[in-house]
Amino acid sequence: MSDQTLQHEELRVTIPRAEALATVEEARAAIDGIDAALAALLERRAAVAGVVQRLKPVGGFAGRCPDRERQIVAAMAERAPTLGPERLARIMNAVIEAGLEVAELQRRNVQDGHGRG
Ligand SMILES: O=C(O)C(=O)C[C@]1(C(=O)O)C=C[C@@H](O)C=C1
């Protein structure tokens, strides 16, 4: 197995087109599948954002970077034009703040000596 394969994971999701869904049950099942993928992505995003907090000179809420957040939203708006930048900004603000909260909690736990075997 290559290094690339060992150090990366692939997430495959089947996403039905909205037009293909005819019943509430079908649509809810589709939502459940999408939410499962979103949850996995959000969990991994928080872990990766935590790495950035540890590597940045000033991490956590104190090192917040509005320019970078605007870039993220603008890139996402190209892929999600129906949601658009204003709604995506609200969504991503919640996502980013949740990641920063987790990173701060983990930093405090490490400082207090919790989580050491
Ligand atoms: O890119 C950074 O500098 C980060 O700290 C990561 C991140 C993010 O979660 O994407 C978090 C906070 C910053 O305001 C911008 C982006």
Q: What is the pLDDT of residues 26-79, one digit of tens each?
A: 999 999 999 999 999 999 999 999 999 999 999 999 999 999 999 999 999 999
Give CA–CA dist 48/42, Å, rounded.
10
Give CA–CA dist 15/3, Å, rounded.
29
The proportion of the chain whose per-residue pLDDT surpasses 90, expressed as a percent, equals 85
Give CA–CA dist 8/79, Å, rounded.
23
Give CA–CA dist 59/74, Å, rounded.
23
**Would the CB of 50 count as within 6 Å of ligand 1?**
no
In a 3-state reduction of DSSP, which class is residue 52?
helix
> Tokens 């703040």 correspond to what residue?
97
- Candidate from 58, 69, 101 with most ligand 1 atoms within 8 A of CB, to mutate: 69
- What single-letter amino acid sits at 74? A
**Residue 62 DSSP one-character state:** G
Q: Is the ipTM of this complex over 0.90?
A: yes
In a 3-state reduction of DSSP, which class is residue 101?
helix
Nearest to 15 by CA among 45, 44, 35, 41: 35
Nearest to 32 by CA among 16, 19, 44: 16
Q: What is the pLDDT of residues 38-49, one digit of tens each?
A: 999 999 999 999
**Would the CB of 76 count as within 6 Å of ligand 1?**
no
